Amino acid sequence: MSDGFDSAPPSDQDVYDITIVGAGPTGLFAAFYAGLREMKTKIIEALPEPGGQLAVLYPEKLIYDVPGHSKIMAKDLVAALVDQCALFEPTYVYEQRIDDLRQIEVQGESVWALQNHHEMHYSRTVLIGGGIGAFVPNRLDVPGAAEFENRGLHYFVKDKRPFRGKRILVVGGGDTAVDWCLNLRDWASDITLIHRRDGFRAHEASLAELQASPIDVMTFWQLESVRGNGDGELAQVTIQESRSGETRDLDVDAVLINIGFKAALGPITDWGLELADKRHIRVDGFMETNLPGIFAAGDIAAVEGSEPLNLIVTGFAQAAIAANAARQRVDPKARLFPGHSSELRL
């Protein structure tokens, strides 16, 4: 059976100068620098959105140690980073976890092939900005959930339009669940939020807004099962009160589950990279790994002779070093120093 690496032969048009694995703050800033160095850039992210830990774990928290900002909300920093690299129009690929990496020949040139079960990607250099690993949403293992996933039951909202005029059940008690309730309230015909506890982990201001809204908030209730109608469309759920065991059936058109994420480095550790420990890839002072042309930066990187300092600002500096060093790998005549951006007219 083909492993995908020997299928359709790529042309040099398919080969990027740099492919960045992970759209966390490190990957996004690396994309900006790679663009500044006129590299054809692709960013591949396991999730359907950019931002890494900032988007998934603390979107509504204020960050106080980003240079030039006395404080900035995590989701605003992500939006600003995306905006900053938009200038160079990098190619984004979402919802793909890179599972394998190896060197191949494309029209006589040795390039890196990155594989996932959807697609192959080809690149002269690779920057791994994988942070603490690829994020996947926690899924609910209740009858009907897998059957209706992406057919009425969702773990992400990629597009609000399918929710227009719908009766929605939202499950969860964190920022994401509460934010989507608020975001969809004027869009949906009716929203019910259930949470298995009475303590919410969402931002206080959002909770106040939720309480003042017509959204039906039911604490100590959890999802028991999901069912369809005769046409196979999601139509009804059963929910259960966790203390009394009482159950209720609700007629709904859509279910949105926001109950957190888990991250796993997964296959990255099998790519032949020298590891500093189970969570970190060993890199030199140019952020290059033991494999030529493969760089790592941010939370996933451990610089030889130093210790990881897992902060956004460290990732930014490492991203700049890695992208400029990658430029030299692509063109050995290029200078490492990019020049001052203040000299440019962008």
Ligand X SMILES: Cc1cc2nc3c(=O)[nH]c(=O)nc-3n(C[C@H](O)[C@H](O)[C@H](O)COP(=O)(O)OP(=O)(O)OC[C@H]3O[C@@H](n4cnc5c(N)ncnc54)[C@H](O)[C@@H]3O)c2cc1C
Residue nearest to ligand X (CB): 131
Q: Are 314 and 306 in contact (CB under 8 A)?
A: no
Q: Which residue has the tokens 């930014």?
A: 316
In this complex, which beta carbon is closest to ligand X, that of residue 119 or of residue 251? 119
Among 17, 18, 20, 22, binds ligand X (CB under 6 A): 22
Of the candidates 32, 29, 20, 35, which has an alpha carbon nearest to the alpha carbon of residue 125?
20
**Structure tokens, 60:** 């509504």
CB closer to ligand X out of 52 and 152: 52
Nearer to ligand X, 255 or 291 (CB): 291
With CA atoms as reference, report the closest residue to 90 among 135, 138, 129.
129
| Total residues interacting with ligand X, rule: CB under 6 A | 35
Judged by CB under 6 A, which stretch of 22-30, 84-92, 143-151, 173-181 contacts ligand X?
22-30
Q: According to the binding rule CB under 6 A, does residue 299 interact with ligand X?
A: yes
Give the footprint of ligand X on residues 85-144 (CB under 6 A): 97-98, 129-135
Region 187-216 residues binding ligand X, contact defined as CB under 6 A? none
CB of 21 to ligand X, least distance (A): 5
How many Cα atoms occupy the beta-carbon half-sphere of 121 within 13 Å? 31
Shortest CB 17 distance to ligand X, Å: 19
By CB under 6 A, is residue 27 in contact with ligand X?
yes
> Residue 319: CB partners within 8 Å, gap ≥ 6?
26, 27, 29, 30, 33, 127, 129, 297, 298
Tokens of 210: 């939720």
Q: Binding ligand X by CB under 6 A: which of 20, 39, 45, 325?
A: 45
Q: Would you give the binding string for ligand X spanning residues 237-276, x where CB under 6 A is met?
A: -------------------------------x--------
Least distance to ligand X from the beta carbon of 309, Å? Answer: 9
81 binds ligand X (CB under 6 A): no
Closest separation in Å from C-beta 52 to ligand X = 2
Among 16, 17, 18, 24, binds ligand X (CB under 6 A): 24
Nearest-approach distance from CB 209 to ligand X, in angstroms: 22
Q: What's the length of the chain?
A: 346
Exposure string for 250-268, b = 16+ CB within 10 A, e = fewer: bebbbbbbbbbbebebebb
* CB-CB neighbours of 271 under 10 Å: 19
Contact 27, 326 (CB under 8 A): no
Q: How far apart are CA 239 and CA 246, in angstroms?
A: 8
* Under 8 Å between Cβ of 34 and 20: yes
Instruction: Quote the CA–CA distance of 21 and 335 in Å, as a whole number.
Output: 24
Query: What span, in angstroms and rounded, lies between the C-alpha atoms of 109 and 16?
Result: 12
Q: Site residues (CB under 6 A) for ligand X?
A: 21-27, 44-47, 52-54, 57-58, 63, 65, 97-98, 129-135, 268, 298-299, 310-313, 315
